[in-house]
Structure 1
Amino acid sequence: MTSASTFFGVPTPILPTSLLDSALMIADPARRTLWYMCVIISLSSLNYPDVIPQVMSHFTEHHLSSNSPIYTDDDARSTAVRQIREGLIKSTGIVGAARTGVAMRTLGNCIPEEYREKGDEAMHSPRKEESVEEARRRGKEFWLNIYARNPAFDQNATVRASADYAFIIRGRSPLRACVFLSWPSEPLETGYAIVAALYGMDAQTQLQHHMKGMLFNGATHEDLLELQQLCLGIAKELGVVFRFPNAPIPNVDGL
């Protein structure tokens, strides 16, 4: 693979046009936005934030111009930008603040000026306005929706390993990891963000749980297979070698 530039002196790989152009084959606007969101989350998780500008350049060229055939007005284009950014925010709960922070700043520099938040809006955090009680409620509800419905998940194993860690991830502490993930949006959209991040982290056990979570919230086996092929295809293009075998796509029939 050739390189476009360097990042801290390390060559930046160039994603093939064929991979980027595969987004143009997706007719549904919502699914196309999910495609770009998952690619950017994957790059963040894999620690290739310097490749994000290539993806955003493709997105800008094909979707943020006034002649976009799929996002037909400024509101639709702004919504798509916000959704991509929100997916990256949610991936913080999986990837962590360090990699996500670099990816977020890189993404922010790639968004065209007319689609950036400005003035008071740019300085406003909707999450900041939410009460601690409501955030905790959301975090607990998210945890119950994904994990409590899964009989293969040992709900006490995390507590036995560390009660303090369990307190954090289940959304009832000031850190509230589940609250990153449960901010209001379609549960399936959140599932895409989580699973894309988990592929990059090579976290196969968690992948099993959250693929089930996607199925619980309306995904199909084909949806999961397409997401798997996308995430693993990006990793292959970048020369990433994972340690562990791919978690099989689960079946939740009868659960």
Structure 2
Amino acid sequence: MPPETPSLPDVLLQSSLSLRNTTERIRWYMCVIVTLSSLNYPDVIPQVYDHFSTNLLAELPPADRFRAVQNVREGLIKSTGIVGAGRTGNAMRTLSNCIPDEYREADSPRSKESDEVARKRGREFWLNIYARNPAFDPEASVRASPDYAFVVRDLLYARVFSYDGVLDPLTTGYAMVSGLYGMDCQNQLQHHMKGMLFNGASRHDLLYLQELCLRVAKELGVQFRHPPAPIPTIPTQD
């Protein structure tokens, strides 16, 4: 018998309604769904999608509804490189069962790009996250495994993380960091939070995201090995 699906409290879901604008609210739902995927609670996603549909999609013009759903779906795709295909696949299929046909994608825009274009953009995205981070050793992955370094830089960054047809680099950072919180992956959290700062986030934004992801985990009874990750600073931040 499968375990009983827990329920997220209304007070958590209703907190999305206090955000300032539609863009922030869509991002909120994306981050919660990515966190649920990372935590391995895909069966909770329908609760979040139902709230998303009732309290946001219903308020949007029809032409904007597909784009809003696409943003959430793209957040999960971006998190594949963090969480892995197994958990993300379960989450994506669960989300798909909630989505009406008119909000589905008919094809794969990524598949139409050349490797040259994708790798150039991926390298630029990778450099934007790591090049200005003195705590990052760019050769550590190569020393560990040149093949691993190739997969990360030439496949994940090129084809997954850097693709900008749906989400901009900052919103991509939100998806990646949400996945990292669910995985309790502290070292990578530091690097990618700094990447968000380089892409325009504030330390307040990072604290809000941390509180959201950890609150979702707490409501589900998840206990992490590590304490909350310190919110980093970068040289250009006050």
| Pairing partner for 1:252 from 214, 234, 238 | 234
Give the distance between the partners of 1:62 and 1:111, measured in 2 at CA. 15
2:84 is the alignment partner of 1:84: no
Q: Is 1:239 matched up with 2:221?
A: yes
Mapped pair 1:53 → 2:46: yes
Q: Which residue of 2 aligns with 1:182?
A: 162
1:36 alignment partner AA: Y
Instruction: Number of aligned residue pairs: give it.
Output: 234
Listed as ranges, the gaps of 5+ residues in structure 1 are 1-7
Structure 1 residue 164 displacement after superposition: 1.3
Name the counterpart of 1:141: 124
Does 2:81 align with 1:93?
yes
Between structure 1 and structure 2, the one with the greater Rg is 1
* Alignment of 1:216 onto 2:198: yes
Matched, 1:15 2:15: no
Within 5 Å, give how 1:165-176 maps onto structure 2: 165-171=148-154, 176=155
Map of 1:3 onto structure 2: none
User: Where in structure 2 are the equivalents of 1:16-165 lying within 5 Å?
Assistant: 16-65=9-58, 68=59, 71=60, 73-117=61-105, 122=106, 124-165=107-148
**Moved segments of 4+, more than 4 Å:** none
1:112 & 1:97 partners in 2: Cα distance? 23
Deviation per residue, 1:49-106 (Å, 9 max, x gap)? 00000000111111222xx1xx3x1122221111000111100010010100010010
After TM superposition, give the deviation of residue 254 of structure 1 in Å.
Answer: 4.1
- CA separation of 1:155 and 1:50: change in aligned 2, threshold 3 A: same
* TM-score between the two structures when normalised by the length of structure 1: 0.89
Change (3 A) 1:137 1:24: same
Quick one: which amino acid aligns to residue 198 of structure 2? Answer: F
TM-score for the superposition, normalised by structure 2: 0.95
Looking at structure 2, the residues matched to 98 and 115 of structure 1 have their Cα atoms a distance apart, in angstroms, of 23
In terms of mean alpha carbon deviation, does 140-149 or 29-38 score higher?
Answer: 140-149
Identity of aligned residues (%): 63
SS of 1:150's equivalent? coil
Which deviates the most, 92-101 or 160-169?
A: 160-169
Deviation at 1:144, TM superposition (A): 0.7
1:200 paired residue among 182, 196, 199: 182
Structure 2 gaps of 5+ residues are none
Q: What's the secondary structure of 1:12's corresponding residue?
A: coil
Structure 1: how far apart are the matches of 2:199 and 2:191?
13
Larger RCO of the pair (alpha carbons < 8 Å, separation 6+): 2
More helix by share: 2
Alpha-carbon distance, 1:246 to partner: 2.0
